[in-house]
Structure formats: C-alpha cells, structure tokens
Structure 1
Amino acid sequence: MPSNVDPALVEALGLDRTTASIESHGGSGFSSTYKLTGDKDGKRVKYFVKTGTGANAATMFRGEFASLNAIADAVADFCPRAHAYGEMQNRAGVHFLATDFLELGGSWGGNRAGSGLSFASKLAELHTRENTSLPDGTPFGFPVTTCCGSTEQDNSWKASWSEFYADNRLRHILAACLRNNGPDETLSESVERLASTVVPRLLGDGHLRRSSERGGGPIRPAVIHGDLWSGNHSRGRIVGSGGDTTGVEEVVYDPASVYGHSEYELGIMRMFGGFSSAFWREYTALVPKDEPVHEWEDRVALYELYHHLNHFSLFGGSYRGGAMSIVDKLLKKYG
C-alpha cells in the first residue's frame, strides 16, 4: 500500500517509506499538526509534525527547530528534540517541522518513573546553565529568527542586554504594532521614550547584576524559552526518534528562544498566570532575584510589556490598554 507521507519527510527522517503513515493530531493556532509513525532501523517510531504555508512558516519552523534543540541540549527531558524541517516535495510552498512525539497528560500506570524533577527545578537549570559557545563580545541574541506567535523576532546579536531589549524587542514590536494597527502617536512616543530612558535605567550595564548568591557581576545569557505561558507547559512522556520513551516528565514546547536575561522569561509567565505560588517559591529559591532586588517587579513588568505589545500587534483590541498601563507606570517612576 503506498505511503501517504510526503517523500521529503520520509527522507529527512530516514524512514521506511513502505510503512510510514501520517494522521491529523491535535491542533495549533498557526499550523496544522500530525502524528507520523513508521519504521526506522528496525524499530517502530513516532514523530510529531507541524505544517504551514509560505515564508512565515519556513521562518517559524527553522526558529522552533533551533529553539527546541537549544533547550534539549541544556536540560535533559525538558522538551521534545527537533529532527527535521524543510519544504514538502509534493506540496509546493508547504513547510514542515518534525520533532519527538509528546504524549501529554498525567501519570500512566505501569510505565517507568521519570526523573522526578519539578518544573521549577528544570526551568531553574535552564536559566542557570552556562553557555560557552556564544559569539565573543556579543552574547545576547540567537542564531536564527524565531517567532512568538506569528511575529518574527529580530535576534541579531548585541553586546548589551539593555540595547538588545530596547532595539530587538521593544522598538521591533512597536513597528509591527503600527504596521498592523495603523498610526498611533501616543503609543509610539511613549514606547520610544521608555526604550530610551527606562530600559537603560533598569537593565543597563553596570546597574543590573547577577544575584549575590550566584556570584554577582554582570548578567550572563541563558537559554530562554521565550513564549512560556501555561499552555506551553505540561506533564507528559517524550517518545524519542529511536522509539525510546521517557517516564512522565515536566515538559515545555512551542518555544521562541533567545540567549538573554533569565528574568525576561518571567514576563509572559506573569502576564497570563497559571503558575502556582509553590512554583514561584521554589523557582526563586533556586534562581534568586537579580540585583537591584527592589527593582525586580519593575523589570518583570518591563519584560511583560513586550508580550502585551506583541498581542496587540497580532490581535489588536484591549492589549493596547495593558501595554499603555505598564508604560505609564514605568515612565512615571523612572522616565
């Protein structure tokens, strides 16, 4: 029986084309999703596949490929590993991403236990892992463009985290807001003023420092998931490309990574909530607040601002009000 799997997928994953099959599985706001099964090196294997059309899909999947593998390289069994991305052979303009398959949910009886590590401990490990392979002198950024939702993020390398956040995040997303929603003098002038004054005030070199518990000194870039709202975290089992399956683990997915300040991660986590007080207690015990500690809440609000602006760019509506509320508060205090 002929396989219903595109030859590009079969070749990229090294599958036996006579036994490979694909079926719709789950859903995503920006792509179509599938379960791909087949045989590889004498073992039955399973993959998760996303597909999408156009240049944005190609950029999105390339970024997610690199993001997943950066996280997987840093922390074992914390996310599915990505195995291939590219363009379908028989469907011009349709792009794909193939990753380990995730079986999401709670515990499964009869299966071996996982690592037992909590979500807080895994995220803390991600945020404290030293990265020695980053470009000399320009450690903040990422090798490829990533997408937060469908927004393409400018990850070009910068030596200063303050400069990166002002230019590559706030000014970049402001331009997208104006492009998608039309001219907005108040928003434009307010965000620009904040990027010019508040960002260097809170995040500037020599001012923002690692916590004393972690040795002090300048902040060091960590792998950031980048879109870590509660819907991108769960418990589940990772089915690897060799057919091996982990125990039940705390897992994350759909990242939009960057090498940046670890507290940047917390902005979207605070925006939408969904993480317990027990999580926050454990996480901040493992990753103490950077210094000045009394400015931590304002730094997290500054990082949350990016996601309000991104949601306004993508969806319009009330997200503008949320963004302006943060801008006005920070400008009143620091501007």
Structure 2
Amino acid sequence: MPPVPVSILRALNLTDASKASLSTSGLGSGFTSTGAIRALVPSPDGEGEEERQYFVKTSSDGKAAEEMFRGEYESLNAIAGSVPGFCPRALAWGPLEETKSRSYFLATEYLDLGVGGRTGSSLAQRLGKLHSTPAPPDPETGKRRFGFPVPTFCGDTKQPNRFHDSWADFYANERLMVILEESERRNGKDGGLREMVEITAQKVVPALLAHGHLGYDRNGNGQGITPVVVHGDLWSGNADRGKIVSSGRKEDEEAGEVVYDPSACYGHSEFELGIMKMFGGFGSTFFTAYHRIVPKTEPVEEYEDRVRLYELSGAMSIMQKLIKKYGS
C-alpha cells in the first residue's frame, strides 16, 4: 500500500504515520483519483485506540481541482450540517505539497454504501428535512439569499453561484446563462441556441419564478419562497443506501438513504426535482412521500412547468458536452 501523504496526515491531525494506511483498490472516478484511509487514533477516554476511516479524492488538475474540491467541501458540509448522516462530512481539503504538479486533495468521512438493509431514514424523509431547513443568512447582509459562498462544479462546468435576492435572477443568470456561455466558450456560438436560451431566461423564467409570483396562489395568498440547501446534482447515481462508519461522530452513523457528490446552492427546493425527474430512478412512491413533507409550491397548477424548466439546466449541461464531443 502507498503511504498516506504527509499533507493529508497533517490536515486530519493523524500524528503517527505508522498507524495510518491508504488503499486505492477498486476505487476510481472520471475526474479524480480516490482512496480510503484507515488509521488508529487515541480513544476519547485515553485508555486505548480506535479506528477511523476516511475517503480521499486527489486531482492534479491545478486551479480547477482547487475550486472543485473547495466547492465539494462546502457542499457536503452544508448538507451534513442540516441533516447529519445524509452525506459524509468533509473534513479537510488543500494542496498536496509532496507533488511537483499543482495537486489537491479532499478528505471526508467514509461512507459504506449498500449497507443497512431497510432500516433508517428514507430518501424522502432526509431530503424533505433538508428542504424544510432554511439556508443560513448571507453574512454580509444578514438576509437569506439565493446563491452559495463558493463556486461549485456540475461535471466539469463551473457554477459561480453569485448571490441574488431573486430566485428568478439566480436561475436565469447562474444556471441557464452560465451554461450557455460555457458552451459557447468551448464549442463556438450558435445563434439559434442563444436565442432560445435568452427567451427562456428573459420571458419564461420571470413568468414562472418571479418574486411576488412564486410562492403565492392565484388569489395572491402566500409568503414567497425561502432558500434551502439543495444537493444540485441529485440523480440516482449519486444516491444509495449506506452508513458513515468509524467517524467518531455517532450522530452521523445512522444507516439510511444517503447522497454524495453534491454541487450545492441555496435555492428553491423544487430545483432539486428537475434533475431527479430528468434522469429518472425515483418513482412515484418517493415523490408522494416527499411532498407530504415539502408540499408543492404555489401556484401548484404551475408545478409541472417549473420542474420542466428546472430540467433544462441539466439538459443544457449534457447538450454542451455532446456538442463538444460530436459537434465538430
């Protein structure tokens, strides 16, 4: 087994390298190299030692790796802070000082997938709790706003996540237009595509999501919407049954439905459902149980149109990758 890099040992406060091991067997990702660390640490009572397990990602992709891991670090902790055990907590990220290239790492709690049988909280229960918990206020203004403290990545597309007071402004500018501009940067401009996206951003988004409209019924009764933490890339490949193990945090180790690889933001709860419905894998039983916890936003009669609109950002991300691969 390769040794655990000193940078990671130091970040995890593992002081005895001889009691830590790194395994990369059977682990891998399209964007990063991954591994599992096992270490012995002093037990809380000081009478002996107990095992800790960690999951580690590394990448030599320079600035992109730095931003990607910072975004995932903040995304994981935004989710875990609201619903402990729903995803691994991120414990550390930073540069791998041992490498000559600009490499970075991300270390998290270890998530053991496929365990727990049918016990524990369901995906509907945990996601419903996440989407019922208001996002933290913006420290600069003291208001709850739509955005996220750092950029995140959906695949290899950077999402700046600049803060907006209006959800419609955020979705139009930080999702639809960002993806369009990235596609144009990579693949060249397409006048027809730009026209359709601009009409959607300038006409359809305000019609469905405008402040003063979303969150109010046809009689004008309502309170608008409150930003909540959304996973941001929740398809069936980023959810499973599982359990965090050997973390030292018993509150994190309840078996149940879990999620991972988030690309979070503070947004409208139904934004999550666009990706979930576009890729499938979540049946009517889930949505029925979820909406018992998080009712459909008013105007309810526009719910299906809103979800279709939210599907568009995911479809555009896929489209620009296909154009890059086959368009030339």
Q: TM-score, normalised by structure 2?
A: 0.89
Question: Does 2:90 align with 1:91?
Answer: no
Amino acid at match of 1:133: P
Partner of 1:12: 11
Q: Is the 8 A contact 1:44 1:243 kept in 2?
A: no
Residue 302 of structure 2: which of 295, 303, 308 is its match? 295
Partner of 2:231: 225
Identify unmatched segments of 5+ residues in structure 1. Answer: 321-335
SS in 1 for 2:57: strand
Partner of 2:171: 165
Partner of 1:51: 58
Distance 1:96 1:318, change over 3 A: closer
Distance 1:315 1:242, change over 3 A: farther
Residue 153 of structure 2: which of 147, 152, 160 is its match? 147
Amino acid at match of 2:199: R
Q: Is the 8 A contact 1:140 1:158 kept in 2?
A: yes
SS in 2 for 1:18: helix
Encode CA deviations 1:102-160: one digit per residue, 9 max, x unaligned: 1111436xxxx96x221101101100112343343461100001111111101111111
Partner of 1:257: 264
SS in 2 for 1:47: strand
Amino acid at match of 1:123: L
Residue 125 of structure 2: which of 106, 110, 121 is its match? 121
Deviation at 1:194, TM superposition (A): 1.1
Q: Is the 8 A contact 1:46 1:243 kept in 2?
A: no
Partner of 1:79: 87
Q: Is the 8 A contact 2:58 2:105 kept in 1?
A: yes
Partner of 1:199: 205
SS in 2 for 1:316: helix
Amino acid at match of 1:287: V
2-structure distance, mates of 1:118, 1:9:
33
Q: Is the 8 A contact 1:85 1:95 kept in 2?
A: yes
SS in 2 for 1:44: strand
Distance 1:221 1:246, change over 3 A: same
Amino acid at match of 2:66: A
Distance 1:240 1:73, change over 3 A: farther
Partner of 1:325: none
2-structure distance, mates of 1:231, 1:62:
22
1-structure distance, mates of 2:325, 2:315:
9
- After TM superposition, the structure 1 = structure 2 runs for residues 238-253 of structure 1, keeping only pairs within 5 Å, are 238-242=244-248, 246-253=253-260
Q: Is the 8 A contact 2:116 2:256 kept in 1?
A: no
Q: Is the 8 A contact 1:308 1:319 kept in 2?
A: no
2-structure distance, mates of 1:71, 1:162:
23
1-structure distance, mates of 2:174, 2:144:
14
2-structure distance, mates of 1:223, 1:180:
30
Partner of 2:279: 272
Amino acid at match of 1:105: G
Q: Is the 8 A contact 2:137 2:144 kept in 1?
A: no
2-structure distance, mates of 1:318, 1:279:
35
SS in 2 for 1:176: helix
2-structure distance, mates of 1:218, 1:12:
42
Distance 1:138 1:120, change over 3 A: closer
SS in 1 for 2:131: helix
Q: Please, what is the CA RMSD of the aligned residues?
A: 2.3
Deviation at 1:247, TM superposition (A): 4.0
Structure 1 stretches of at least 4 aligned residues deviating more than 6 Å after TM superposition: 317-320
Partner of 2:109: 100
2-structure distance, mates of 1:242, 1:44:
9
2-structure distance, mates of 1:225, 1:34:
23
Encode CA deviations 1:35-83: one digit per residue, 9 max, x unaligned: 1111223322110001112211111110000000000010121010000
Encode CA deviations 1:162-185: one digit per residue, 9 max, x unaligned: 111111111111001111222211
SS in 2 for 1:39: strand
Distance 1:238 1:210, change over 3 A: farther
Deviation at 1:315, TM superposition (A): 3.6
SS in 2 for 1:48: strand
Encode CA deviations 1:10-56: one digit per residue, 9 max, x unaligned: 00001121221111142222111101111223322110001112211
Q: TM-score, normalised by structure 1?
A: 0.87
Fraction of identical pairs, as percent: 47
2-structure distance, mates of 1:312, 1:282:
32
2-structure distance, mates of 1:180, 1:240:
43
Amino acid at match of 1:267: G
Q: Is the 8 A contact 1:209 1:217 kept in 2?
A: yes
2-structure distance, mates of 1:210, 1:36:
50
Residue 309 of structure 1: which of 316, 319, 326 is its match? 316
